[in-house]
Amino acid sequence: MDTNTAKARLRDAGFRATQQRTAFVSRLAAVHEPQSIQELADALSGTCDPVTVYRMITAFEKAGLVRESTIGGRPHYELAEAGDDHHHLVCTNCRAVEDFVGCGADAVARAALKRSRRFTSVTSHSFDLYGLCRSCTA
Amino acid sequence: MDTNTAKARLRDAGFRATQQRTAFVSRLAAVHEPQSIQELADALSGTCDPVTVYRMITAFEKAGLVRESTIGGRPHYELAEAGDDHHHLVCTNCRAVEDFVGCGADAVARAALKRSRRFTSVTSHSFDLYGLCRSCTA
DNA sequence: CTACCTGCAAACGGTTTGCATTGCC
DNA sequence: GGCAATGCAAACCGTTTGCAGGTAG
């Protein structure tokens, strides 16, 4: 994603396209793997303060510009794409991440709701697979 | 679960059945909903120090006596039962939790592995549904 | 009796907040 | 020019660690 696209995306979401935010969005677009707060702060260390990273994450997540997912017990962030319902295959050894689609959540949600006494609707879900990648397989 | 069962369970897992640990296991058995660290510390406040709660959680999880799951961004714990593969339906408003079974993860994992270039095996998964419970439905 | 466990207090590290300054729009 | 965003420093809070005393086996 080039700088202008990143800026347009920020403005579309109602934000001022500052240098720091543009760098943040560009970074997420470039790596297209979920990033930890630490990784983001390190990558942007020449550009902005870690405190600003926290503030951007909070604002962008609320605005639906980024998605949060938990990997190895820590929150990670990636750009949110419209209509996107991908999930992660995570290596339990090296934390490598690969996306996959088709989690069948709709059917599972329907079945669970049917059986449930206390719930009336399902609005979202999380689904992740954990295993070993090729290079970590003994 | 009565006190003696709790003690037996602890000894089976290789622990000394202290008063604090017995109370911890009994508590989890009594509520049979995932509990946050805070909730556990509060429930056991007359029995043991919060620090001990942390130490028990760490030890019990490693021993496979309790399972961790993330609810509302915070870790929660429940007793682990053999062969158990249930998941949670969580109310996004009041955090009420209901269990459900049948997540279809086996089929999804098989399909994902087939498509994957980098992964060779899937050993575990997480799957949770988020929605509204009856009393939080407007 | 002895090794394991617990309580207390202090250290630790990640996250949040307050406030003055900067820089988009 | 005005208001939102940033940087810096300090507060904050949940978690971990060290150590001395207690308790289960």
**Distance (Å, whole) CA A82 – CA A101:** 14
User: Widest CA span of chain B, in angstroms?
Assistant: 53
Q: Which residues of B touch A120 (CB under 8 A)?
A: 131-134, 137
Percent of chain A with pLDDT over 70: 100
Q: Secondary structure of chain A in the HEC alphabet?
A: CCHHHHHHHHHHCCCCCCHHHHHHHHHHHHHCCCEEHHHHHHHCCCCCCHHHHHHHHHHHHHHCCEEEEEECCEEEEEECCCCCCCEEEEECCCCCEEEECCCCHHHHHHHHHHHCCCEEEEEEEEEEEEEEEHHHCC
Radius of gyration of chain B (CA): 17
| pTM listed for this prediction | 0.92
CATH number at residue B110: 3.30.1490.190
Q: Rounded to a whole number, what is the distance in Å from the CA of A80 to chain B's nearest CA?
A: 19
User: Do A70 and A90 sit in the same domain of this protein?
Assistant: no
**Distance (Å, whole) CA B51 – CA B57:** 10
Chain A touched by B94 (CB under 8 Å): no
Whether residue B138 has pLDDT greater than 90: no
Q: Which long-range contacts (CB under 8 A, 24 or more apart) does B116-119 make?
A: B116/A89, B116/A98, B116/A100, B117/A134, B118/A96, B118/A98, B118/A133, B118/A134, B119/A89, B119/A91, B119/A98, B119/A131, B119/A132, B119/A133, B119/A134
User: Do B25 and B52 sit in the same domain of this protein?
Assistant: yes
Chain B touched by A111 (CB under 8 Å): yes
Query: For A42 and D18, how far is CA from C1' in angstroms?
Result: 32
User: Do A33 and A72 sit in the same domain of this protein?
Assistant: yes
pLDDT digits (tens, 9 = 90+) for A15-40: 999 999 999 999 999 998 999 999 99
Q: How many independent structural domains does chain B possess? A: 2
User: Do A28 and A65 sit in the same domain of this protein?
Assistant: yes
* Residue A115 vs residue A73, higher pLDDT: A115
CATH number at residue B40: 1.10.10.10
Q: Which residues of B touch A111 (CB under 8 A)?
A: 100, 102
User: Do B14 and B67 sit in the same domain of this protein?
Assistant: yes
Q: Which nucleotides of D are covered by protein (CB under 7 A)?
A: 4-10, 14-18, 23-25
User: Do A8 and A65 sit in the same domain of this protein?
Assistant: yes
Q: Are A123 and B132 in contact (CB under 8 A)?
A: yes
User: Do B69 and B92 sit in the same domain of this protein?
Assistant: no
How confident is the model over B69-85, as a mean pLDDT?
93
Print the domain residue range for A133: 86-137
User: Do B101 and B119 sit in the same domain of this protein?
Assistant: yes
CB–CB contact A119 B92 (8 Å)? no
Residues sharing a CB contact under 8 Å with residue A46, sequence separation 6 or more, in sequence order: none
Residue B84 DSSP symbol: -
Task: Place B56 in a pLDDT band, splitting at 50, 70 and 90.
Answer: very high
The dihedral built from the CA positions of residue B38, B44, B45 and B51, taken in this order, carries a sign that is negative
User: Do B71 and B91 sit in the same domain of this protein?
Assistant: no
**Distance (Å, whole) CA B69 – CA B103:** 16
Task: Place A82 in a pLDDT band, splitting at 50, 70 and 90.
Answer: confident
pLDDT digits (tens, 9 = 90+) for B11-39: 999 999 999 999 999 999 999 899 999 99
User: Do B26 and B70 sit in the same domain of this protein?
Assistant: yes
User: Do B32 and B92 sit in the same domain of this protein?
Assistant: no
Residues sharing a CB contact under 8 Å with residue A4, sequence separation 6 or more, in sequence order: none
Percent of chain B with pLDDT over 90: 94
Whether residue A115 has pLDDT greater than 90: yes
The residue out of B39, B56, B79 marking a domain boundary is: B79
Nearest to B121 among A109, A126, A131 (CB): A131
Residue B77 contacts strand C, CB under 7 A: no
CB–CB contact A132 B119 (8 Å)? yes
Task: Place A68 in a pLDDT band, splitting at 50, 70 and 90.
Answer: very high
The per-residue pLDDT for B28 is 98
The dihedral built from the CA positions of residue B110, B112, B115 and B117, taken in this order, carries a sign that is negative
Task: Place B121 in a pLDDT band, splitting at 50, 70 and 90.
Answer: very high
Residue of chain A whose alpha carbon sits nearest to that of B117:
A134
The residue out of B31, B51, B79 marking a domain boundary is: B79
User: Do A34 and A61 sit in the same domain of this protein?
Assistant: yes
Whether residue A66 has pLDDT greater than 90: yes
Q: Rounded to a whole number, what is the distance in Å from the CA of A42 to chain B's nearest CA?
A: 23
CB–CB contact B124 A111 (8 Å)? no
Nearest to B104 among A108, A126, A132 (CB): A108
